[in-house]
Chain A
Amino acid sequence: MQATREAVSPTLSAEAIAALPDEALEEAYVVRFDAHQRIQHMLMIGSFLALVVTGFPQKFPSIEVCQWLMDAMGGIQTVRLVHRVAGGILIFDGIYHMAYVSFTVLVLQRTGPLQMIPNVKDVKDAVRTVQYFLGMSLQPPKHSRFTYLEKFDYWAVFWGMVVMGGSGLIILFPVLVTRLLPGQIIMAAFRAHSDEALLAVTWISVVHLFYVHLAPRVFPFNPSMFSGRVPARRYREEHPLEYAQLVESGKVLMVPADGPTPPGPAVNPPVVVFPDYLQASTASADGEEPDSDA
């Protein structure tokens, strides 16, 4: 990472970045997610959608449309198979994520994932946000890497994965499970699987989709989770504390504006990336050294 940063360009100073006009941030971006995180999320989207499409018709056999959907998808046997395979992929995704987090924290000694743990500031932020919504406060709270809502989203999914994966396996292997556990577990798992599925779909479609795609500042589609990048201007608004921290700690890259766009796998997010012409323009604005080389 060190090598990449130096190879591309010298960094801007924190003061120089702070002095940049808003327009200059248009082409700058923050690398927020690495390849593993993006793959994890894409695996989740794919398997989740497959599970919803194959699961919900099974929940409502009385509805004519569900009967039609089941037939259209090849009948109960095919649908059941797809549902189980998709469930397997999602469970794998969960294990993959846990391995990724463990490796990052324990082996690489990086504390990034630990920022997902809720703290007192999240409670205060939530209260202050509601106050802001109601006009009792003029400014919303400043967020760090993860807002309280993002943490809530993450842990809701975490909970959902445990409930759905666990209950799904229980109702897939009821005979095996009841060798150890009381029979009631099967019926409870059946209810939990059905109810939590409805909750997950409602939450994802109402809250998650609104905040990642439909909210005015990101509408109509926010590709950050797929590209790993967030425009710096928006990032500065949404995560001002982390942005300031990145800039001050020098986690800043310069890349050729018209060249290929790194960073590759060697770069550990988060890092702020600027097009290199900013370096020159800032330098000239500061009057230190004219861009005679360029």
Chain B
Amino acid sequence: MVALRSSKVAGLALALALLTMAVALFALGKSTSRVGAQALEQGPEILHLVEGHSECSRCHGAEGVRPTPSSHAGFTDETCQDCHAPGPAPQLPKENPPVGDSYCLNCHNNPNMAVRLGDGNLLSLYVAGSVYATELRQSVHGDISCSTCHPDKGAYPHAGIDMSSRAAYRARAVKECARCHATVWEDYSQSAHGQALLTGKSESSACYDCHSDNSSGHAIRPVTGPRALVAPSAIFRQCGRCHSHELDTYLETSHAKVVRFGDPLDAATCVTCHGAHDQKRVDDPLANLTKPALLVTVCQKCHDGATDNFAAAWMGHRGASATRFPIVYFTERFFVFLTAVMVGIGIIHVELDSFRWLANRLRRKRGQG
């Protein structure tokens, strides 16, 4: 009896299990066929250029800008463009924050918001106010949202932030730029700046150190035009923020003079000789800057027919001395001496002459009186 009842229960359970499986299979089949049917339809256009953007879900995930609808479950980044054709660049109103940013600003509108990094540096996390409303909107990235560059931080608590030191934080930050600027990244990551920063040797220049005037990723300026910081008329000031001695010596050259007067003939700036994103240390054999025989190839970029002798004129951001560039040194000294002596003699002569004239005049007057 008990055995019979047991077998009945088992049979019922089996039947229920089968039914459940059938329903599940049906439902699964239904849903698959529904997605399949929708794949034939065309979705809204992509509102930005797609070149270089392969990971759609990084920006358009559930927490991102214009998030992917839940009905899109099962799709991957590779299939987005099957339905969504690339459209023209978006014309978003710059005054209003793009969708999604308000979520971030709920916390980051607090001016006191900051975090103490492992190395003791204080990192401000405040981005609201003028930074958000003006700087970011006027920057070249004014049309994109927080989560585009801060993809890991869609939810709270944020994951994947290296808080151990400022250098580590900066090394992580430049990788966010690299996700879109892949070509530049190839050069930068091999450059003196990139190598030093990425290997943790020093807090070398990150992308935003040169491309903004306040080392802020929220204030990236255009590369050309009047606001540009890396155009020929301005780039030397950016480099000079760290390389002040090199800037001082550069400013004495004729290169710098004509650059500062806006020479339209592309006079040499820092990047003309050192490279823009791929600058090497000057002692790097690839830099071609140490020996005249190599340096001449750099000079020849602008000076047709330059010889080794010509390249030897470059004093390498250092002054002349009695042993180093002696002709220049003694010429300088000679003219300082000559000017001092000549002007001194001239002024004394004029003064003595005037003194005698005045004395004679006074004496004559007194004689008359």
A positions within 8 Å CB-CB of B: 58, 61-62, 67, 70, 75-77, 79, 130, 132-135, 149, 156, 171, 174-175, 178-179, 181-188, 190-192, 195-196, 198-199, 202-203, 206-207, 210-211, 215-216
Contact = CB atoms under 8 A, between A and B. Distances in A.
A178 B327 CA distance: 14
Contact of B349 (A149, A175, A178, A202): A149
A255 B334 CA distance: 52
Majority secondary structure, B binding face:
helix
B327 A58 contact: no
B261 A61 contact: yes
Given A77-B263, A206-B343, A216-B357, A184 B328 contact: yes
A156 B257 contact: no
Contact of B336 (A174, A195, A211): A195
B325 interface: yes
A188 B336 CA distance: 13
B266 interface: no
B261 A178 contact: no
Given A135-B359, A183-B310, A188-B331, A174 B352 contact: no
B327 A182 contact: yes
A209 to B, nearest CB: 10
B325 A187 contact: yes
Interface stretch (B120-128, B165-173, B300-308): B300-308
A134 B356 CA distance: 7
A252 to B, nearest CB: 31
A12 to B, nearest CB: 32
Contacts of A211: 350
Interface of B: 251, 254, 256-258, 260-265, 292, 303-307, 309-315, 320, 325-328, 331-332, 335-336, 338-339, 342-343, 346-347, 349-350, 352-353, 355-357, 359
Contact of B331 (A61, A75, A174, A191): A191
Contacts of B313: 174, 178, 183-187
Given A182-B312, A207-B346, A58 B357 contact: no
Nearest to A159: B338
A175 B251 contact: no
A88 B335 CA distance: 24
Given A191-B328, A195-B335, A76 B343 contact: no
Contacts of B327: 182, 184-185, 187-188
A199 B341 CA distance: 10
10 contacts: A75-B261, A174-B303, A175-B306, A184-B328, A187-B320, A188-B327, A188-B328, A198-B339, A203-B346, A206-B347
A207 B349 contact: yes
A192 B333 CA distance: 10
B366 to A, nearest CB: 15
A205 to B, nearest CB: 10
Contacts of A133: 352-353, 355-356
B350 A202 contact: no
A215 to B, nearest CB: 7
B328 A156 contact: no
Contacts of A62: 251, 260
